[in-house]
Structures are given as C-alpha cells and as structure tokens.
Structure 1
Amino acid sequence: MILNPLASQELDMIFDNTSLEVLKLCIKKCIIAQPERLLGQPVLPIQVPKEHIEQWVVQAVGGTPVGAGSYPVDIITENAYGKYAIDIKMLSCKVNSSGTLSNTTSGETSLAQKFIGPGIDLDTSFHNKQYEQIVTEWINILENKFRKVNREHGINNIYYIFVLRADNKFYLCATKVNTDNIKNMKANPQKTTKESIFIENIINDNFGNAKIYKAKKRLELRLKPKYWVDNNLVKTFDFSHYIPPTINLRQIVETKKQVQYFQDITAKFIY
C-alpha cells in the first residue's frame, strides 16, 4: 500500500505530549471563536480553514511551513527520530443521532490533481474506457510530486496527517507514504464507472478508499473514521461537553460588557 496507517506509538514519534497539548489549545480557541448563536438558533457546524489547521501543526511540532501555493507538502520538520515532511488534511465525519461516529466514509481530500500531459484528454480517456492509461498518468503525477520533496529537501520520510472532525470531537491520525508502492496503483474495474475510477493499493480498504474523478480531474481520498477509532489509531480531543452559548452580541456591546464576556468564555473553557 502507498498509505500505511501509523499505530498510536508511531504517532507519538511525531506528536509528543507537548504537541498534543498545543493542538488541544488550538482546538479550544477555534471552538470558542465560532460565531455565537441567538436564542432559538440551532448549533452551527464548526468551520476551520485548512490554513489554520496547518498552522496548528506547525505550532505543535515546531516545523517550518513550506506549503504555499501548490507545493506537495505543508511542513518540513525534524526531531530526535529524524527529518520528515508532513502534508495536512482535515476531513469531516458523519455522526449518528446519539453523537457517535457513523460507519461511513469521511468527506474527501485531494491527493493529486492537474491532469496534464502531451496528447492527454481525461474526458476522452474515460469515454474510451482507457482506465489503466489514466491510472498510469496519475502514477506519474504522484511520483513527480514526492520526488520534488526528496530533490529539494533530501527527505524520504513523508506523512499525511489527518485531523478528523465529528461535531465537537476531533481525532488525530496519520499515514506514512511508501513512495516505492506508487507504481502498484491500479484500477478496480468492478467499481469503476463512466465518472470515476476506484483505485486499488493506495490504502487498505478497512481504512479508506481512493478514486479518480473525471469531472474534478483529481485523485481523492476518503477515510473510514470509525475503523480508525475502533482500532485505537487516533488521538482524541473530546469537547462534546461544550455547548455553544446563546448570546446577543448587540446587548453585550450596548451594555459595554465585552471585556467581561471575553473573560467569562476563556475562564470557562480555556483553563
């Protein structure tokens, strides 16, 4: 497989106790910074820009951000276990009515895009059912992507770090990238349609799946969060006890209680 899940002990090699406490602090700040709701309004879903997630991890591991634009990875860092590169992904997860993880796949994240090359037309290749040719082109894209990291930074150890969000619970997990196995990608004809190609050998099916989409022109990954959690391959940040308050900010401002309001929300949640 290309993406190999890290055991909890392996995750500890990247995120020590201080790193986890930094992430916990960042998540707390994020949650209390979400827009306040008025009385009678439902709880709003938490929104976190990808750039913020990247900065959380930069702060947590003490790395150097390199992910401006379309660079293959987001962070270069080094610790007692060596020098490595990190690409960060945040995925939303579905929960059932009881608030526990549903046995479904997560939202998607892109692993590679920009399908270009001499004489290549993705729509035509799909129309002609040239699925293996399409996969071969994506093999080249991925190999070139990670080769760039090795060439410019001398790094072979590359990780995908996933932050999974399920309402007010966050899960941290990771995979190590085995670049030698990229060449083993292949199409699964039984699960391939005229709109997408199901790809084998990227990740074990228990943990997730990957597809190439014609319309989006990209290779996307989805995880199966419940399996990761059930097999103790995550670090959990549980804020399910936190109920977003109902606040009328106009009243706060009109009564000049802004400072007290900030003190109250931080005292109840940050410390």
Structure 2
Amino acid sequence: MSAGVFSCIGTSYIKAAKNTFYFTKRGAPFLLKPFALVFALFYSVTLLMISLFFYALIILDWLGNLTDTLRKSLLNAMDGHSRKINNGILSFILEPIIIVLLSPLFLLSVFIPKVSSNPIENFAVNEISDIFSGAGAFKRINKIIWGAAKRLFRYVGNANLILMPILSVIAILYSIVLIAVGSIFAILIPLDWISYLIESIRQGIVSFTNNQQQKIRYSGSSFLIAPVLLVVLAPVFLLLLIIPKFTTQIDVEV
C-alpha cells in the first residue's frame, strides 16, 4: 500500500525537526550557533509532537486504501460484466442483470467517506485531466452502464433473424432499466468535481509541508519562519484533511 497523506505529512514534520539541527550545524554562523540551537530544540520538540499526531491518524490512510480497493473492485466487476454482454445469449441475458444488482452496492461503497489519499506527482495536471476525461467514479460508471446498453443492441443486430424479435424486446427492457440506473449516476457526476477540489487541497498540503521542511536546511529566514508556519498551520491542515471524499479517481492510485 502506498503511503497516504497523513503518513507523508507526519514524515515531513519529522524531517523539518531534523533539518533545524542540520541548519544549526551546517548553516548557522559560528557566533549564532548557540541561539540557533535553542530555536532548534524548541522547534524540533513541537514539530515532533505534531508529527506523532499525524502518524496516529495513519489508520485513516489504511481505511482510505480499503475503501478505494472496494470501490475499484466493484467498478472493475461491472466493467467486466458489461464487456461480456456480446459473448453469447446467456451473457446477453445475465450480464445486464448482474450490472444492475452491483450498481446499488457500488453506490453504497462510494458514499463511504474517504478521508485519506495517496500522494501522487504532478497532481494538478494529472487529476483534472482524468476527471474531465471520465476517470471520476460517477462519470466512469455512467459510461460503463451506457456502454452495456449499446452492447445489447449490438448483439441484437448480429443475432439470428428468428431470435431477433425476442432479443429486441429483452434489449429494450434491459436498456430502459440500465438507462434509469445510469441517470442516477449521471446526476452525481458533480461530486467527481468536488472530489477533485478536495484532492487538490490534500495534495497541496502534502506539497507545502514537504517544501517547507526542505527549505529549513538552506536558509536562515526559512529556519526561523518555516517551522512556525508548519506549527501554526497544522490545525488548519487537519481540518482540511478530514473533509470526506465521496468518489474516486479511477485511473489514478488514490
């Protein structure tokens, strides 16, 4: 399992604590080292306490991974059953029923709140592209269901002429049900966009904490200011991180 946001943020705070001593040893002028050491001791204790708090929330990273695994398993199952519709008459009859039965389970899994994410690189570029191209859970599931409806009529078009009338009736009835189910997910597509906003915030926090801890090593002003920023903003980070995410970006590990 990839490290989640709480694990990564906790690690950034520990690195920030270590880097205060790194600057004291390597970057601080000789005459100012005693004063820098006092600051480093105070900063490091505070940062370590905050890091332990974020590490205590790693359980949310594990739960987030479990939630996402469940969502993706159900969606992949629905996608697989949709693709099998044209495999034969039994598949034509049974696969749409299975898709409809799986739909409420998927909907329930999506509404299990997910309060963690796996950090990814180049998030702003990748994630927004994925959501608007169909990688958001609700948009993706809607496409799967519409694809299943299309495959029903494709199968009818290639069927034996004698069976075509019966299969046409079945296809029409199935497609009505599938379209109704797909419409429910289509209504929920805006939650994919809200999910992007929440994910942007999470990845921004991960990036910010990592950048600040790195700056401490190389600059006196960062040595003084960055730890203060990390301490002051920690409660804000926590409040933003616990905003639940009710959908999943399918093509990105989250």
Fold conserved between structures, TM > 0.5? no
Higher relative contact order (CA 8 A, sep 6+): 2
Name the structure where helix makes up a greater proportion of residues.
Answer: 2
Q: Please give the range of the TM-score, normalised by the shorter of the 2 chains.
A: under 0.3
TM-score, normalised with respect to structure 2 = 0.28
TM-score, normalised with respect to structure 1 = 0.27
